A and B are shown apart, each in its own frame.
Chain A
């Protein structure tokens, strides 16, 4: 029966297509899912992995320069740095050339790694504990962690995670209620003012952060 043959052929083709798609997923790891929100469980697991890497870095006994470089690598792989940088820079981002944007993202990532790397270096003898995750809708999921240090008060570090870029990434860090985005937007704004609005000079200043 020709129709059935065709149907069988079609479903075989579909099956093959499915297998090919699976192979692609296996090969490249991620499927872009921009419309779907990440689950709180997946976000918690993501943050658990991230904090493990972070802790391994700060307890490694390496020197400052290596710890900061390691922290910059963690930022680059776990955070959506282009989106974060664009959000922090605000309106000037839109008028920038692709080369200026790329340079700004790299410089801002360097600046952030020094600024927050210094903070995380203090967590040498600490433990991270994921304490919960709450869905914030389109803005992403807020994964709450506690930094436990012997003899000192625990520090609340919340990670805002989103998969709107197609991959699960950190988009903001909130330490004891203090949002990195809000804080750095004000600082980068002040630097841009001090550089009389020049994005290139702002980029140079960020890149020179020690």
Chain B
């Protein structure tokens, strides 16, 4: 399953690189038609199941517990992120993540408490999508996946690598690895809950929800990978007034 997914993703990545007109512009959307179908499907799932479940979870589980569960999830991404920082040529960040993992796995009790953040080493997200970005791989087209949500061809390829190459699942006993998968699921539900207002505004309160989510996703992803919004790339609203 995993290998097939990777092969598919790699093929689509290559296909994405072959597509032409200005892939950096926000209007580049070569897969718009299937994407819109996937979007309608995802919204039905969200309306009927994912949204209500996440709100029920957020309302029932106290914030400290939800935070603890997210902390466990983030902590166990540590080993893979150490490798990913290595692949990006960022030994400093790899060392920081190592320190975080050691502190939070012990003093933080298997990652429940983010002690390292209080000591001045905050969580810094990285994934294979960032590895590919740093290696100069193009973003490819925007790709909304049924059940998966928004992404690009590069992001979903990165996701396949994230899933397959996570050392945690190969090292831990089956029961612990399964537990972490469940924790990962809760974390996804919690993210949906914490982003409820944004998600609602984009998808349910927009004239064109697909486009609203696509633009938000692409801009957010680019800002994250590029380390924030560049002041020199701001648009001048007085230019044609």
Interface SS of chain A: helix, strand, loop or mixed? mixed
A190 touches B207 (CB 8 A): yes
A136 touches B222 (CB 8 A): no
Number of CB contacts from chain A to chain B under 8 A: 108
Chain A interfacial residues counted at CB < 8 A: 45
Question: A118-B201, A151-B67, A156-B228 in contact; A178/B238 too (CB < 8 A)?
Answer: no
Which one, A86, A119, A142, contacts B231 given CB within 8 A? A142
Residues of A contacting B232 with CB < 8 Å? 136-137
**Would you give the shortest CB distance from A106 to chain B, in whole angstroms?**
18
A109 within 8 A of B: no
How long is the Cα–Cα vector from A46 to B37 in the complex, in angstroms?
45
Residues of B contacting A160 with CB < 8 Å? 234
| Chain A 140-179: CB-based contact to B (< 8 A → 1; otherwise 0) | 1110100000111100101010101100000110101111
A191 within 8 A of B: yes
List CB contacts (< 8 Å) of B26-67 with chain A.
Answer: 26, 63-64, 66-67
How long is the Cα–Cα vector from A176 to B219 in the complex, in angstroms?
8
**Would you give the shortest CB distance from A58 to chain B, in whole angstroms?**
12
Which one, B26, B66, B208, B229, contacts A174 given CB within 8 A? B229
Question: A84-B237, A115-B201, A190-B207 in contact; A182/B228 too (CB < 8 A)?
Answer: no
A187 touches B207 (CB 8 A): yes
How long is the Cα–Cα vector from A194 to B211 in the complex, in angstroms?
14
| Chain B 204-241: CB-based contact to A (< 8 A → 1; otherwise 0) | 01111001100110011111100011011111111101
Residue of A83, A119, A176 ringed by the most chain B CB atoms within 10 A: A176
Residues of B contacting A178 with CB < 8 Å? 215-216, 219-220, 223
A3 within 8 A of B: no
B198 touches A119 (CB 8 A): yes
B197 within 8 A of A: yes
B194 within 8 A of A: yes
A183 touches B216 (CB 8 A): yes
Residue of B whose beta carbon sits closest to that of A186: B211
B229 touches A158 (CB 8 A): yes
A42 within 8 A of B: no
A186 touches B212 (CB 8 A): yes
B228 touches A181 (CB 8 A): no
Which one, B63, B211, B238, contacts A162 given CB within 8 A? B238
B interface residues (Cβ-Cβ under 8 A, vs A): 26, 63-64, 66-67, 194, 197-198, 200-201, 205-208, 211-212, 215-216, 219-224, 228-229, 231-239, 241
